A and B are shown apart, each in its own frame.
Chain A
Amino acid sequence: MLTYVARRLAYSIPVLLIASFLLFAFVRVTFDPTARLRASRDPSAVARERTRLGLDKPIVVQYKDWLVKFVQGDWGESSRSSERVYPMITRALWNTFQLIFWGVLISGLIAIGIGIFSAVRQYSVADYAFTSASFIGLAMPPFWFGLIAIQFLAAGPKNWFDLSQPPLFFVGLHSVAGSPILDYPRHLVLPVLTLTVQIIASWSRYERASMLDAINADYVRAARAKGLSPRQVIFKHAFRNALIPLVTVMALDIGLLFGGLIVTEKIFSIPGMGQLFFDSLLQGDANVLVAWTVVTAGFVILFNLVADIGYGALDPRIRVA
C-alpha cells in the first residue's frame, strides 16, 4: 500500500511542475505587467521596468526565478492593490473552502442516500422522480439556478412581503458587525444550495449506477445464497463495492471545485477564489493570476492523489498492481 501511495505521489510532482510552468508562461504571455507603465509613453521607463521585473530573460529562466520565490512563500504583489499575493489567496481560499465544505458534506450524504434508494427501488415512482430531478439539475446552468433561488427565496419574498431583510442573504458570507447566531447560516444557504444542486444531480446518478452494477453482480447473489438478509447484502456487499468508483469521482470533483466556483461566488458576492480570479482577470493582475492558477491546479492534483489513494484503500485488487 505504501509503495502504491509513493508511486502516485512521485507521479504527481512532475505533473504539478510542468503544469505550473505552462500556466506561468501562459499568463505571462497574456498579461503584460508593464501595461500601466506603457500608458506613460516613456520607453526608457518601460525598459527599466522590464529589466527590473526580469522580463527580458528567457521564459524558462523567468519561471525558475518565480518558482524559487514561490516555494518560499513570496508570491509577489498584486498590481492592483500592491497587497502581497500570498495573504490574498489564503484569505480567498478560506472563504471558498467554507462553501466547499458545507456543500460537499450535505451533497455527499444526500446523493449517496438517493443513489442507494434509487438503485434498490429501481423503476419505482420515487426512482423516476429522482432521475428526472437529476436530469433537470444537470441540464440547468448553475448560475441561473442561483439567480432563480435568489429571486424566489430571498429578494422576491423581501419585496412581496415587504420585509426589512430578505429571509436568506445573498451577499457575502457575513453581515457587517456582530451578528446573531443565525446570520452565518442565512448567508450560507443560498450559495450552498446552488452548489449542491449540481453536485447532487451528478453524484446521485453515479451512485445509483454503481449500486446497480454491484447489486447485479454475482457476489451479491452468492451472498444471498448464504442466507444474508437483503439489508445486510446491500450495505455489507453492494454498497461497499459501489463506494469504490464513487469515492474516486467525489475526490476528483472536490479538487475541481476549488477553482470552479467562479460563477457562484460572483452571483453571491462571496470573496473567495472565484471572485479573486474574476477581479484579477478583469484588471490583468498577472501575479495574482499566476499564483491562482498554480494553486488551483495544485488542489486538483492533490485531490487526484486523494482519489488514487482512496481507490487503493478501498479496492484490494489495485494494491498489488
Chain B
Amino acid sequence: MSTLPNRELLDVPTEENQPLPPRREFVDEDTVIRSQWRLFWRRFFRHRMAVISTIVLILIIFVCFNASWLAPYPKNHQDLALGATGPSMQHWFGTDDLGRDQLTEMMYAGQISLAIGLAVAVISTVLGTLFGALAGYFSEWTDQFLMRLTDLFLVVPAIAILAIAIKKFGNSAATIVLILAGLGWMYIARVVRSQILSIKEKEFVEAARASGASHKRIVVRHLIPNTIGPILVNATLAIAAAIITESTLSFLGFGVQPPTTSWGRMLSDAEGYVGTSKAHLLYFPGLALLIVVLCVNFIGDGLRDAFDPQSVR
C-alpha cells in the first residue's frame, strides 16, 4: 500500500477495500428492495376504479351463480295472468309477457353470459399464448405461418363467420364457446408473439444465452415473467369482448336458444317493446351488460397500470 504524504493531515485511516463506515445519523432507506409482487399489488390498489370494479364484479358473479337460493322466484316460473308489468315491490325489475320475474331471469341469464364470456376468454388466452409463444420463440416458419393464418382470419368479418359457424355446428352454449374461442385466440397470439419477439431481442436474453442458459431456463425465468403482464391485460379485454360478442349473437337470434337464456337473448325478446309501456324490459339486461363490461375494462386498465406504470392512461 502506498503512503500518501498528506493524508495524515486529515487524520482518517484509509484501508484498501475498507467497507464504508455506516453513518449512524443517516440510513439509506432507499435500499429496501420491494418485491415485484408487492409493487404490483400496491399499484393495482391505487387504481380506485379497478378496485371498485373488482368488488362490484365479484358481487354480481356471486349473486348470479347463487341464483338457486337467492332468486325471489323459481327459474322460468310463469304467471300468465300477470303479464308484463313494470318494476314493483314484488318484482323489482318487473315481469315479461309470460309473467316471469325479470330479476330471477336476469340472474340465470347472467350465469350464461358470464360463464360463456369467461370460458371463451380462458380458452382463447391459453391457445393464443401457446401459439404466440411458439411462433415468437421458435423458428421462422412457424412464425410466418401463424402470421399469415391470423392475417387471413382477421380479414373476414367476425360476426358473419361466427353466425355461419353456429348455423353449421349448432348453438348449444358449449359449441358457442368453442366457436368464439376458435376465432378469438388469434388476437392474443399476435400480442404474445410480438411481446416475445421484442423481449428476445433484449440484451438480457442474449446475455443469458451467452452464459449458457438452456431454452427452458430462458423461457421460464425471462420470457414468461415479462409477458404475463400483457397476457393478463389482453385476457381481460377478451372477457369483455366475448361477453359483448355473445350478447350480440344472441340478440340477433344466432346465439343461445330458449330455454337457455342470456342477457343478449333477453334483449332480443325485448326488442319489440321499444316505445311501448313494456320498454322497461330493455333497460335491465342492457345495464347489466354495460356494468359488467365496464368493470372488466376498469380491471384491465388497473392491471395494465399495475404491470407497467409508465404506460400512458
Write the nearest CB–CB distance from A117 to chain B, whole angstroms: 16
| Cβ–Cβ contact B160 & A141, under 8 A | no
**Of B37-45, B135-143, B150-158, B173-181, the one with at least 4 CB within 8 A of chain A:** B150-158
CB-based A-B contact count at 8 angstroms: 124
Question: Which residues 82-104 in A have Cβ within 8 Å of B in the complex?
Answer: none
Given contacts A29-B168, A151-B275, contact A260 B289 (CB under 8 A): no
Q: Is the CB of B286 within 8 A of A144?
A: yes
State the Cβ distance, A259 to closest chain B Cβ, in Å. 3
Of the candidates A135, A143, A150, A158, which one forms a contact with B248 in the assembled complex, judged by CB atoms under 8 Å apart? A143
The residues in B between 265 and 301 inclusive whose CB is less than 8 angstroms from any CB of A are 267, 270-271, 274-276, 279, 282-283, 286, 289-290, 293-294, 296-298
The yes or no answer to B240 lying at the interface (CB within 8 A) is yes
Q: Mark A109-145, 1 if CB is under 8 A from B, else 0.
A: 0000000000000000000000000011011111110
Residues of B within 8 A of A300 (CB): 154-157
B98 sits at the interface (CB 8 A): no
- Please tell me which one of the listed residues A22, A150, A292, A293 contacts residue B274 in the complex, with CB atoms under 8 A apart: A150
Enumerate chain A residues within 8 angstroms of B240, measured Cβ to Cβ.
Answer: 139
Tell me the A260-317 residues at the B interface (CB within 8 Å): 260, 262-263, 266-267, 277-278, 281, 289, 292-293, 296-297, 300-301, 304
Q: State whether the Cβ of A213 lies closer than 8 Å to any Cβ in chain B.
A: yes
Q: Are A301 and B155 in contact (CB under 8 A)?
A: yes
Residue B164 interfacial (CB < 8 Å):
yes
B275→A296 contact, CB < 8 A: no
B217 at the interface (CB under 8 A from A): no
Q: Inside 8 A of B275's CB, which chain A residues have their CB?
A: 150-151, 154-156, 158-159, 166
- Contact call A135/B294, Cβ cutoff below 8 A: yes
A118 to chain B, nearest CB (A): 11
Q: Whole-angstrom distance between the alpha carbons of A147 and B266 in the complex?
A: 13
Q: Is chain A's binding surface mostly helix, strand, loop or mixed?
A: helix
Q: Are B286 and A15 in contact (CB under 8 A)?
A: no
Interface assignment of B82: CB less than 8 Å from any CB of chain A: no
Taking the nearest CB of chain A, how far is it from the CB of B274, in angstroms? 5
Most buried by A among B160, B167, B254, B294: B160
Within 8 A of A (CB), among B183-215: none
Q: Is B264 part of the binding interface, using a Cβ–Cβ cutoff of 8 Å?
A: yes
B95 / chain A contacts, CB cutoff of 8 Å? none
Residues of B within 8 A of A15 (CB): 151-152, 155
A147 pairs with B294, CB closer than 8 A = no
Judge if B247 is at the interface, Cβ distance under 8 Å: yes
User: Is the CB of A212 closer than 8 A to any CB of chain B?
Assistant: yes
Contact between chains at A155 and B294 (CB < 8 Å): no
Check if A281 sits within 8 Å of B157, measured CB to CB: no
CB of B293 within 8 A of CB of A139, answer yes
* C-alpha gap A154/B274 in the complex (Å): 10
Does B159 belong to the interface (CB within 8 Å)?
A: yes
Given A18-B152, A147-B271, A263-B251, do A139 and B294 touch, yes or no (CB 8 Å)?
Answer: yes
Q: Which residues of A contact B254 (CB under 8 A)?
A: 281
Determine if B56 is an interface residue (Cβ-Cβ < 8 Å).
no
When C-beta atoms are compared, the residue in chain B nearest to A252 turns out to be B154
Flag whether A219 is at the interface (Cβ < 8 A): no
Contact yes or no, B289 A141, CB < 8 A = yes
Partner of B244, one of A19, A141, A159, A297: A141
Contacting pair B167 A260 (CB below 8 A): no
B1 sits at the interface (CB 8 A): no
Q: How far is the CA of A15 from the CA of B152 in the complex (A)?
A: 7
Contact assessment for B157 and A147 in the assembled complex, using a CB-CB cutoff below 8 Å: no
- CA A27 – CA B167 in complex, angstroms? 11
Counting CB contacts under 8 A, is B32 at the interface? no
- In whole angstroms, what is the CA distance A158 to B275 when docked? 8
> A148 within 8 Å of B by Cβ?
yes
> Would you call A26 an interface residue if the criterion is a C-beta within 8 Å of the partner chain's C-beta atoms?
yes
Contact A148 B155 (CB under 8 A): no
What are 23 A-B contacts defined by CB distance under 8 Å?
A: A15-B151, A19-B155, A22-B152, A27-B164, A139-B296, A141-B248, A141-B267, A141-B289, A141-B293, A144-B282, A147-B282, A148-B282, A148-B286, A166-B275, A209-B312, A260-B159, A263-B159, A266-B252, A277-B163, A281-B164, A289-B164, A292-B160, A300-B156
Given contacts A30-B167, A156-B279, A293-B161, 4 further A-B contacts (CB under 8 A): A140-B293, A151-B275, A281-B163, A293-B156
Q: Which residues of B contact A (CB under 8 A)?
A: 151-152, 154-157, 159-161, 163-165, 167-168, 240, 244, 247-248, 251-252, 254, 264, 267, 270-271, 274-276, 279, 282-283, 286, 289-290, 293-294, 296-298, 312
A residues with a Cβ closer than 8 A to B are 15, 18-19, 22-23, 26-27, 29-30, 135-136, 138-144, 147-148, 150-151, 154-156, 158-159, 166, 209, 212-213, 216, 256, 258-260, 262-263, 266-267, 277-278, 281, 289, 292-293, 296-297, 300-301, 304
